[in-house]
Amino acid sequence: VNTIGFALVDAASGSVASVITGRGVVINALCTGAIDEGDALIVDSAAASEDGVLKAGTTAGAVVAIALEARASGKGYTKVLTH
């Protein structure tokens, strides 16, 4: 999955959206599953309903952020550092 950054709002395909594209930016990103502080995060593209949600993973070339806090499970916002 290729990413250009983090959209500030939901956007439909072909729509205009404001996007954070820099590295080293601290944001609250929607994440799923168990995440430990310091985990590398990748886009969870396993199911369409999870598209754009981050999960812990180390796929080469796919890391988009680093977790700055831990979360036990489920889906919710987590503080991350963009990569």
Structure confidence by residue, pLDDT tens digits, 5-57: 888 877 777 888 888 888 999 999 999 999 999 999 998 877 666 678 899 99
Residue from 18, 14, 6 nearest 64 by CA = 6
What pLDDT score does 20 carry? 87
* Residues in contact with 33: Cβ distance below 8 Å, sequence separation at least 6, in sequence order: 44, 55, 56, 73, 74
Question: pTM here?
Answer: 0.83
Q: What is the pLDDT of residue 82?
A: 93
- Count of other CB atoms within 10 angstroms of residue 78: 22
